[in-house]
Amino acid sequence: MTTDARTGPAPTPTGPLSQIDYSERIPNNVNLASDRRLQRALEGWQPKFLDWWKTLGPALPTKDVYLRTAVAVGRDGWAHFEHVPMEDYRWGIFLAEQDPDRKVNFGKHKGEPAWQEVPGEHRADLMRLIVVQGDTEPASVEQQRILGNTAPSIYDLRNLFQVNVEEGRHLWAMVYLLHAYFGREGREEAEQLLKRNSGDLDSPRILGAFNEETTDWLQFFMFTYFTDRDGKYQLGTLKESAFDPLARTCEFMLKEEAHHMFVGTTGVQRTVERTAELMKEHGTDDVFEHGGIPLSVIQKYLNFQFSVSMDLFGSEQSTNAGNYYSSGLKGRWQETRRKDDHVLLDDTREMNYIENGKIVQKTVPMLSALNLDLRDEYAADCANGVRRWNQALEDAGLEERLFLPHEGFNRRVGVYANHHVSPEGEVLDDATWEQRKDAWLPSPEDRRRVAELMVPEYEYGKFAGWITPPSTGINDQPVEFDYVHLAEEGLA
Ligand SMILES: [Fe+2]
Ligand SMILES: [Fe+2]
């Protein structure tokens, strides 16, 4: 049974405080009905969003998809699963519960009550932070638009669509803030979020990694592992914001984000497992001809996605980042768990840079290096998945291992831009880089051979030959569950 988008039965809410109102055209837990002007403005934006979804959302025609929808924002039982036509997904506005006693936890306003309104002096900066975050959400949907055509299974297809609808909801999350707190300018920015498009030459998305093509499923898994994880870390800093509505919005987005990274971690792992099986079975590293993706190519995809995602953290040293922190707009990862004064005026840290062809260190003020602080947290987290993938190689009895490239590898932003660094951390001249880069980054030929393996497998419970099945299904359903019903035209 499916729920009609506008009028049908709503999932049952689970808790009084955190419950979401599904009787409204725009589901929400912010009592939207009490603010007619805002409600009308968002209802005016809604059809534009749906138009965008139809034009630039998933290309594969489907009848319905087994999706989770937020029911409540509380700790337990927030997700409700059912088959829904994707265009009827209940995109809405969900903020984590408000803590009436919440304080600003860092910077020069530390100890003051959190802000329920935008302070005039921080209006421009806050709006910019929200716009940049908002821009990444629909970008990834656009990047992943055609992947449904080559899904390795119905299980994976469902996961792709779940990620897509939730990135669409994350756009709603940011658009709500723009409409509710930034007046006419905010509404204009909300329009622009649908007008910029990934890879568009005239009007591209704001950040580089969100204009790269997602060419195939291995890249999708790397994207959800590395680039969605960048999202997790950015949201983690905004969750600390003194501007309480932003903090509460990001806190709930983080709950959805966890599944996106699960898709990446397990997707790469299943690819590696299949590769390991084929390597052992055929006694060769070049498993392309046996229908798998060679480990060396998986490593190149990893190198690429890690390096473009590292660029998303911006320059290591940034006056803006320091100002955002001191002003209370954006905290550090797990700010409240850090054992320091949360003001950082006297703190310093070491940072790498390149001098005379060598990587050397210097000491810099901590406040100037908060982008680097976040990036280091991110990189340490990235290493966990690599360990897990290597465990799969070890379990298969193979000697080969995957690894994270050096932080300076293939960078376009910060101290390593305009330098060449090998994955092992060796500084190289232009000629050497040109000669060797195809051994480190996917070449057009690698991408072509991976693309050849990307044949759709739409039979329930069957999987393409380059990837192993998952150990369990979604929401305790069997792996062979009918997670997606394709439209008749999709089956052709
Ligand atoms: Fe997102
Ligand atoms: Fe995500």
Name the residue ranges covered by the structural domains of the chain. Answer: 101-461
Are the CB atoms for 240 and 247 separated by under 8 Å?
A: yes
**DSSP assignment string, 421-456:** E-TTS-EE-HHHHHHHGGGTS--HHHHHHHHHH---
Provide the pLDDT for residue 76: 60
Looking at residue 271, its amino acid is T
Percentage of the chain beyond pLDDT 90 is: 89
- What gap in Å lies between CA 232 and CA 212, rounded to an integer? 19
* Nearest one of 175, 89, 180, 184 to 137, comparing CA atoms: 175
Ligand number, closest to the Cα atom of 225:
2
Residue 145 Cα to ligand 2 middle (Å) = 15
pLDDT grade for 453, boundaries at 50, 70 and 90: very high
User: 227: CA distance to ligand 2 center in Å?
Assistant: 8
For 327, half-sphere exposure in the C-beta direction (CA atoms, 13 angstrom radius) is: 19
Which ligand is closest to the CA of 260, given by its number? Answer: 2
Q: Convert the pLDDT of each residue in 128-187 to its tens digit.
A: 999 999 999 999 999 999 999 999 999 999 999 999 999 999 999 999 999 999 999 999
**CB burial of residue 423 (10 Å; 0-12, 13-18, 19+):** buried
Give me the pLDDT at residue 2, please.
36
pLDDT in tens, 351-407: 999 999 999 999 999 999 999 999 999 999 999 999 999 999 999 999 999 999 999
What's the 137 CA to ligand 2 centre distance in angstroms? 7
Q: Where residue 345 falls among pLDDT bands split at 50, 70, 90? A: very high
Find the 78 Cα to ligand 1 centroid distance in Å.
17
Token pair recorded at residue 156? 């994976």
Residue 460, token pair as written in the block: 């329930």
Q: Which two tokens stand for residue 30?
A: 């912010």
Task: Determine the pLDDT at residue 114.
Answer: 98
pLDDT digits (tens, 9 = 90+) for 186-209: 999 999 999 999 999 999 999 988
Backbone angles phi, psi at 199, to 5 degrees: 80, 0
What CATH code is assigned to 101-461?
1.10.620.20
Q: Which ligand lies nearest the alpha carbon of 228? A: 2
Please report the beta strands in 300-434, taking only residues with DSSP state E, as ranges in sequence order.
Answer: 348-355, 358-365, 420-421, 427-428
Cα–Cα dist 73/413, whole Å: 37
What is the Å distance from ligand 2's center to 329 Cα? 22
Q: Tens digits of per-residue pLDDT, 249-281?
A: 999 999 999 999 999 999 999 999 999 999 999
Task: Specify the range with the lowest mean pLDDT, choosing from 6-20, 58-72, 287-301, 352-366.
Answer: 6-20
Tokens describing residue 212: 């790269």
Contact 118, 151 (CB under 8 A): no
- The burial class, CB within 10 Å (0-12 / 13-18 / 19+), for 388 is middle
For residue 491, the model assigns a pLDDT of 53
The predicted structure's pLDDT at residue 71: 79
* Region 332-361 average pLDDT: 97
pLDDT at 10: 42
Cα 80 to middle of ligand 2, angstroms: 19
Which-ligand-closest: CA of 169? 1
What's the confidence (pLDDT) of residue 18?
A: 61
Helices (H), 57-182: 123-143, 154-181
Q: How far is the CA of 378 from the centre of ligand 2 (A)?
A: 15
Token pair 């072509």: residue: 448
Q: Which protein residues have a CB closer than 5 Å to ligand 2 (ion)?
A: 228, 257, 260
pLDDT of residue 120: 96
Looking at this protein, which amino acid is placed at residue 86? Answer: M
**Among 336, 327, 282, 343, which Cα is nearest to 465's?**
282
Q: What is the pLDDT of residues 42-58, one digit of tens each?
A: 999 999 999 999 999 99
Mean pLDDT, range 422-430, rounded to an integer: 98
User: From the CB of residue 449, how many other CB atoms can be counted at a distance below 10 Å?
Assistant: 16
- How far apart (Å, rounded) are the C-alpha atoms in residues 224 and 105? 30
Q: How big is the CA angle at 240 (ends 236 and 245), to the nearest 5 degrees? A: 105
Handedness of CA 195, 159, 276, 445 (dihedral sign): negative
* CA 240 to chain CA centroid, nearest Å: 18
The pLDDT-based confidence of 79 (bands split at 50, 70, 90) is confident
Q: How far apart are CA 222 and CA 191, in angstroms?
A: 30
Q: For the residues 432-455, what does the mean pLDDT come to?
A: 97
Q: How many angstroms is it from 257 CA to the middle of ligand 1?
A: 6
pLDDT of residue 108: 97
pLDDT of the residue at 44: 95
Q: What is the Å distance from ligand 2's center to 99 Cα?
A: 25
> Pick the residue with more confidence: 447 or 213?
447
CA distances from 93 to 170, 254, 430 (A): 9, 14, 49
pLDDT at 441: 98
Average pLDDT, the chain: 93
Q: Give the ligand whose atoms come closest to the C-alpha of residue 249.
A: 1
User: By the 8 A CB rule, do 227 and 140 touch?
Assistant: yes
- pLDDT over 90 at 215, yes or no: no
Q: What are phi and psi of 361, to 5 degrees?
A: -115, 150
Paired tokens of 396: 């298969």
Distance from the alpha carbon of residue 254 to the mean position of ligand 1, in angstroms: 8
Instruction: Kindly state the tokens that stand for 300.
Output: 């190149």
CA of 18 to the centre of ligand 2 (A): 22
**Nearest residue to 181 (alpha-carbon basis) of 116, 235, 237:** 116
| 165: phi then psi, degrees, rounded to nearest 5 | -65, -35
